[in-house]
Amino acid sequence: MAVMTMREALNAALFQEMRRDPTVIVLGEDVSGGAGGTSGTRDAAGGIFGVTKGLIHEFGADRVIDTPISESCIVGAANGAALAGLRPVAELMFADFVGVSLDQIYNQMAKFRYMFGGRARTPAVIRMSMGAGMNAAAQHSQTVYAMLTAIPGLKVVVPSNPADAKGLLASAIRDDDPVMFLEHKALYSRKGEVPDGDYATPFGEAALLREGEHVTVVALARMVGFAERAIDKLAAEGITCDLIDPRTTSPLDEDTILESVVNTGRLVIVDESPPRCSLAADIAAIVAHKGFSSLKGPIIPVTPPHTPVPFARELERAWVPSPERIEAAIRDAMKAG
Amino acid sequence: MQLSREDLLRTYRQMRLIREFEERLHVENRTGEIAGFTHLYAGQEAIAVGVCENLTDKDYIISTHRGHGHSIAKGCDVEQMMLEIYGRADGLCKGRGGSMHIADLTKGMLGANGIVGGGPPIALGAAIACKLRKDGSVSVSFIGDGASNQGTVFEALNMAVVLKAPKVFIFENNGYSEHTGASYGIGCDDLAGRIRGFGLPVFEADGFDVFSVRDAAKAAIDHAREGKGPSAVLATATRYFGHFEGDPQLYRAKDEVERFRKEKDCLLGFRKKIDEAKLLDKAELDGIDSEVLALIERAMVAAKSAPPPPLSSVLEDVYVRY
Amino acid sequence: MSRIHPVTLPKWGLEMSEGAIAAWRLEEGAAAAKGVELVDIETEKIVNTLEVDRDGVLRRRLASVGATLPVGALIAILADADVSEAEIDAFIAGYRPVNASFEPGAEVAPPSKQQINSAASSASAAPAVAEAVSADEIKRRNAAAHASPIARRLADQLGVDLSQVTGTGKEGRISQADVEAAAKALGTAPDAALPDPSPLSEPAPAAVPEPLAGPAARRLAREENVDLRDVAPTGEKGRIQKEDVRRAAEARRSGPAEQRSELTPWTPMRRSIADALLRAKQTAPHFYCAMDISLDAASPFIERLNRDNGARVTINDFFVKAAGRALAETPDVNIHVEAEGVRRFSRVDIAIAVAIEGGLVTPVLRDVDGTDIRALAACAAALAKRARARTLTSDDLKGATFTVSNLGMHGVRAFDAIINPPQGAILALGAARREARETPSGIAFGSVLTATMSCDHRAIDGVLAARFLSALKRIAEDPLSLVL
């Protein structure tokens, strides 16, 4: 076990997989950086958040490809490279740029296999930073995973800690389907214990991070840490919770959530996405359909308001669900049954 | 360029096969059996064949919504294509793609594509794979005059040059972006110059003449194969049918197609040249004509009587594994 | 080719799902060669002709004129002369048309996962073999098992060794239910949970309970002016159903005679007329100007034309010609209104409205100002005849710059017509009527009609409309200028 940041864990996964498989390539804006500069320095950036740092020195410019600012074409090129037998890992910098490249994601990569009658594979990974909390304002702070989860044909990964980030990125690269890999930008510097050696964390298996008997709490990405704070505080008062981190929203480990609800009868879902058609709404619908008889009271979502992400510090703090709001939601849930 | 007898016969057969395939679909499309959108390629055969005659199964192409010609020229199975167009279980895409999404990865055919301008970035990615494999293979995108104005195409042109990718851009100007004249949609008078401005060589061809296209495409493809980076071919032709089947073509002069069919047709032109040069026996070409018609009749009979996909297959192949 | 060839209603274009037989061009028993015209099929305003696509004899016509049929319907049989009638009968009896409908047919539920994984797992887990294993060892084994975290926790609590349990989930994943079943088999199952105690306090009922009703019932109540508190509910938990509201409304009414109705479905032509008119009225801001025009000079002029030249000029022809001249004088009315601006035309092409069975068509007279009035009249008569015979082509209907519509023959005094986009204006003619007028020599009776012009105000202002109408009046009241 070593303690490292999520940034370092992701970087370790890229090194691990590129060494393991010569068909893995990395492409995107500034994945190395410095190309065409006047200093002659390569790896001047190593990715805008430093996740791809150092790769070019070991794997060369043919496998670590700096591209122009052309998001459609970056994703499109990942699509074509994948169809042609490579395992591209493309970086989109910000998840918000899914908007720029949506055709290549939504109409192309997600549908190739199905529409070509199962006779194609698109093992591409699109990495992107997501989420609010860094005052990056409306066009650089969205979570986007709800929209991507709604697209059949894509797999969607939302790690909440360094160990999972490394294991899930390894799985994403080895997976034969297109994977959207969303890294919360406020978590890059979060430290955690990471197992040594090669490992891959399977998709569709939730993590049970706290165990309790009164309330099931489902939280994603940065919200997992916030939920832990709220849950640990309430434990002192004798209110105990199951905390479930789905880790992948597509496929989604419905069983773990439903089984926990059978035991607790109460459900709080914490999702940093605007509420309409969010993961909170999706999970609530699944539980209302398949776990209705276990519920003792209404399902309680904890989400931001249905607005774009505001810029000002005060506004953004109020916008992002806080540990205090999660605590209040758990107390609300306790009023039922 | 010197062509062998086999080359000439194959070139003629490919063009004839595309032509009869499309002519037959045009008639059959009236019956209502074919669902959805069908866009026919008749009139442009010299371009698809002139380009693909320079390619092998290791090379990639990506096509457009008007994809039957490129698919046949790249070697897709005609009967399986027909089954696909009729939405049958044994179609090239198991009946899940239809006319607009015919693909065969084993032939390096990365699919017909319903998004105008969607292809070039994807072909660029395949070119990155070709470059990494170092086997001299290339990747080719076909687009029309309409897509030539799409941002995705500009991005792919520029990125291909930046990455020195073995990617060949084929621009097929058939005169119309759906129902609008190309001269209106393309803002500059000099499309070749516009493409050259991205930093790659452009080889121009007469899209009605398969020999002209073949020469231009060979030059462009050799350039890419030799590791000199991307290149482009610009060819002009016309389409004999509407944008899609059922298009009343109110934007075209009444006798325009008739005139092209009489004066510029690529198959008539081929026969004329061959005749003048005394290269092949007329009977040989006539034999190909009847063989092709029989092949299409067989494919059509098979397609009309083949079973539809089983209902359960609606859930298949969303993922490799989920 | 098989010896019997079915001819089906063709699909012309993406959205065509039905068509009507307008006219047969070939008799039963006639030999047909490829390319011969077989039948006219009406889709919208326009009639298309279906040609035969192979040689043969037209043995049967299976659809009568006027029938509206779906795409793919069998309409005729082509066969060689030597095919027997019985063979054809058998072919027709066994023919199954293509279903080209866009409507959902027999609803088919999507297949379930079970249908696909026919190997539906049975939910019975094999009991674990009882062997003396320490709790710690079981926990160690359980940590490595393919199980949901909740199942693992329960197994640890109950001492179930997951390495001995068969999972029923995806790819053999062990669920909480599997652990419970295994525990039961081992005899370590937890006691059945006690039923939940009933809540200590019922919520206080609201002071005046709002009647329970769904949105449909509420809407009907609003429409029928029924107070929901007066309605006797029959639904579950006292919920008011739509039927209950209807009954309450019925009870309030004393019944007048029963109202019956029947729906005449839109024909393709009627529907396309409706769409076009709706678009016209919604997109062009109409305004109207009326002008009374004396016929005292026009009537004898027309009579004389017809007497001396054997022509058949009608009052309508006369006004089309006069409008043509007036448009030539005020070219700003001879226009199309387009998105980018107003397009002025050098030539005057006037459409005339012709009523036909089931609708209205507007064929076009070309170069009205440059054509002699007698030739114009002959042309108009021919167009009207072809309109009624349904043999107009799309060329006959295209490109008019102005329209004249006339209801005078039905005694209508005056009316406001709807413009035919992209034209800028339309002229509506009423009936000739006798009117008393003051003249220098006293009161005199004269013939007069009202011409009402509808204009698209985006391109034509009131003053311009008035200029056109004044020119029309001047020309119509001094008709010699039309032949001089």
B184-195 per-position pLDDT tens digit: 889 899 999 999
Find out whether C425 and C419 touch, Cβ atoms under 8 Å.
yes
CA–CA min distance C377, chain B (Å): 29
Average pLDDT over residues B108-113: 96
Distance to chain A for C125, nearest Cα, Å: 17
**What pLDDT is attached to residue C110?**
45
Which residues from chain C sit within 8 angstroms of residue B30, using beta carbons? 10-12, 50
Distances (CA, A) of A297 to A261, A330, A332, B310: 11, 12, 10, 43
Specify the DSSP element, H or E, that contains C207: none
pLDDT bucket at C254, cuts 50 / 70 / 90: low
Structure tokens that stand for B114 in this block: 């319903």
Record the tokens describing residue B284, joined without a space: 């040989």
Of A57, A140, A184, A289, the active-site residue reads A140
Question: How far from the centroid of its chain's Cα atoms is residue B314's Cα?
Answer: 29
Cβ distance of A242 and C148 shorter than 8 Å: no
Q: How confident is the model at residue C391 (pLDDT cuts 50, 70, 90)?
A: confident
Q: What is the per-residue pLDDT for C129?
A: 42
Q: Is the pLDDT of residue C475 over 60?
A: yes
Contact by Cβ (8 Å): C394, C46: yes
With CB atoms and an 8 Å threshold, state whether B126 touches A112.
no
Between CA C52 and CA C91 the distance in angstroms is: 19
What pLDDT was estimated at residue C44? 65
Average pLDDT across chain C, whole number: 84
CA–CA min distance A309, chain B (Å): 28
**Residue among A258, A320, A247, A260 at smallest CA distance from A283:** A258
Tell me whether residues C151 and A206 touch, CB distance under 8 A. Answer: no
Q: Which residues of A touch C149 (CB under 8 A)?
A: 206-208, 244, 256
CB of B111 within 8 Å of a chain A CB? The answer is yes
Mutate which of B65, B85, B132 to disrupt the A interface (most A C-beta within 10 Å)? Answer: B132
Quote helix, strand, coil % in chain C, to nearest 5. Answer: 35, 20, 45
Give the pLDDT score at C123. 35
pLDDT at C1 over 60: no
Compute, in degrees rounded to 10, the torsion defined by CA atoms B52, B54, B57, B60. Answer: -60
pLDDT for C257: 67
Q: Is the pLDDT of residue C201 over 70?
A: no
Structure tokens at B174: 């058939």
CB C19 within 8 A of CB C9: yes
Which has more confidence, B55 or B255?
Answer: B55
For residue B111, count CB atoms less than 10 angstroms from its CB and return exposed for 0-12, middle for 13-18, buried for 19 or more: buried
CA C276 to chain A, closest CA, distance in angstroms equals 35
Structure tokens at C102: 């866009």
Cis peptide before A251 (omega within 30 of 0): yes
Q: Is the pLDDT of residue C187 over 90?
A: no
Residue identified by tokens 């019925």 is: C250
Tokens, residue C126: 């094999």
Q: What percent of chain C has pLDDT over 70?
A: 87
pLDDT value for C275: 86
- At C203, the pLDDT band (50, 70, 90 cuts) reads very low
pLDDT at C436: 87
Are C42 and C20 spatial neighbours (Cβ–Cβ below 8 Å)? Answer: yes
**Nearest residue in chain A measured CA to CA from C153:** A211
Residues in chain C within 8 Å Cβ distance of A246: none
DSSP H helices in C54-196: 85-94, 113-116, 135-144, 149-158, 176-186
Question: Residue C426 burial by CB count (10 A; 0-12/13-18/19+): exposed, middle or buried?
Answer: buried
Q: Please choose, from the candidates B60, C261, C425, the residue with its C-alpha nearest in 3D space to the C-alpha of residue A77.
A: B60
Across the interface, do B159 and A112 touch by the CB < 8 Å criterion? no
Buried b (16+ CB within 10 A) or exposed e, C448-478: bbbbbbbbbeebbeeebbebbbebbbebbee
Res B196 pLDDT > 50: yes
* A81 CB within 8 Å of a chain B CB: yes
Structure confidence at residue C286 (pLDDT): 95
Cβ–Cβ gap A176/B94 under 8 Å: no
**Distance between terminal CA atoms of chain A?**
43
Q: Choose the most confident range, by mean pLDDT, from B11-25, C5-19, C36-50, C91-105.
A: B11-25
Of the pLDDT bands very low, low, confident and very high (cuts 50, 70, 90), residue B256 is very high
User: Could you report the per-residue pLDDT of C41-66, keeping only the tens digit for each?
Assistant: 987 656 788 888 888 899 999 999 88
Q: Hey, which chains touch C, using 3+ CB pairs under 8 Å?
A: A, B
Query: Closest chain C residue to A296 measured between Cα atoms?
Result: C196
For residue A23, which phi and psi values (nearest 5 degrees)?
A: -85, -5
Residue A62 contacts B, CB cutoff 8 Å: yes
**Could you tell me which residue, C1 or A162, shows the higher pLDDT?**
A162
pLDDT score recorded for residue C45: 52
Q: What average pLDDT does range C99-124 have in this prediction?
A: 49
C258 backbone φψ class: left, alpha, beta (φ>0; ψ -120 to 50) = beta
CB contact under 8 A, B33 and C9: no
Give dist(CA A110, CA A113) in Å, integer: 8
Average pLDDT of the segment spanning B212-225: 98
Q: What is the pLDDT of residue B37?
A: 87
pLDDT in tens, C226-242: 888 888 888 877 888 88
Contact criterion met (CB below 8 Å) for A99 and A148: no
- Measure in Å the smallest separation between the Cα of B208 and chain C Cα atoms: 28
Which pLDDT score is estimated for B213?
98
Q: Which residues of A touch B105 (CB under 8 A)?
A: 83, 116, 119-120
**Which residue in the list C5, C146, C286, C457 is annotated as catalytic?**
C457
Give the pLDDT means over successive 10-residue stretches in chain A (337 positions). Answer: 96 97 96 87 90 96 93 96 97 94 96 95 97 90 97 98 98 97 96 95 94 97 97 96 97 95 96 97 98 96 94 89 97 92
pLDDT of C109? 44
Residue C423 backbone dihedrals phi, psi, to 5 degrees: -60, 160
Q: CA neighbours within 13 Å on the CB side: how many for C391? A: 10
Torsion angles phi and psi, residue B140, rounded to 5: -125, 130
**What pLDDT is stored for residue A107 in this prediction?**
96
Q: Are B93 and B110 in contact (CB under 8 A)?
A: no
B32 to C72: CB separation less than 8 angstroms, yes or no: yes
In this model, does residue B27 exceed pLDDT 50?
yes
- Identify the residue among B81, B110, B128 best suited for mutation to test binding to A, counting A beta carbons within 10 A and taking the highest: B128
For residue C98, give the nearest of B27, B31, B248 by CB distance: B31
- Residue C239, class by beta-carbon neighbours within 10 Å (0-12 exposed, 13-18 middle, 19+ buried)? middle
C-alpha distance from B287 to closest chain A C-alpha (Å): 34
The shortest C-alpha distance from B315 to chain C (Å) reads 8
**So what's the pLDDT on residue C208?**
53
Residue A39 three-state SS: coil
pLDDT for A12 equals: 97
pLDDT for residue A195: 96
DSSP state of C427: E
Whether residue C255 has pLDDT greater than 60: no
Chains with ≥3 CB–CB distances under 8 Å to A: B, C
Q: Pick from C148, C170, C196: which is nearest to A259 by CB?
A: C148
- Paired residues of A245 in beta bridges: A207
**Whole-number pLDDT of residue A246:** 98
Which residue intervals of C290-370 are DSSP H helices? Answer: 298-309, 315-329
Of the two residues C120 and A272, the one the predictor is more confident about is: A272
The verdict on a CB contact (< 8 Å) between A115 and B97 is: yes
* Interface-testing mutation among C121, C139, C146, C150, with chain A (most A C-beta atoms within 10 A): C150
B60: contact with A, CB 8 A cutoff: yes
The confidence score (pLDDT) of residue C124 equals 37
For the stretch C289-319, pLDDT in tens is: 999 999 999 999 998 888 877 778 999 999 9
- C75, containing H or E segment: strand C74-79
Cα–Cα distance list, A38 to A42, A61, A97, C361 (Å): 11, 18, 28, 73
C5 is catalytic: no
C153 Cβ under 8 Å from any chain A Cβ: yes
C211 vs A208, higher pLDDT = A208
Q: Is the pLDDT of residue C99 over 60?
A: yes
- Can you tell me the mean pLDDT for B169-175? 97
Q: Which of A86, A103, A116 sits opposite B115 (nearest CB)?
A: A103
Task: Write down the H helix ranges in chain B.
Answer: 5-28, 45-52, 68-73, 78-85, 119-133, 151-163, 182-185, 191-196, 210-225, 256-263, 266-276, 282-305
Please indicate whether, in this complex, the C-beta atoms of B33 and C100 are within 8 angstroms of each other. Answer: yes
Question: pLDDT tens digits, residue range B55-106?
Answer: 999 999 999 999 999 999 999 999 999 999 999 999 999 998 999 999 999 9
pLDDT band for position C480 (50/70/90)? confident
Closest Cα in chain B, distance from residue C71 (Å): 6
Which of residues 157 through 196 in chain A touch B, CB cutoff 8 A? 175-177
Nearest CA in chain C to A213: C150
Contact C11 B246 (CB under 8 A): yes
Q: In this structure, are strands A87-94 and A24-28 parallel, antiparallel, or unpaired?
A: parallel
Q: Which of B2-6, B19-23, B280-284, C32-36 has the lowest mean pLDDT?
A: C32-36
- The pLDDT, as a whole number, for residue C46 is 67
Task: Place C206 in a pLDDT band, splitting at 50, 70 and 90.
Answer: very low
Length of chain C, in residues: 484
Query: What values do phi and psi take at C221, rounded to 5?
Result: -60, -40
Pair of tokens at residue A153:
């044909």
**Residue C31 clears pLDDT 70, i.e. is over it:** yes
- Between residues 233 and 252 of chain B, which touch chain C (CB distance below 8 Å)? 244-248
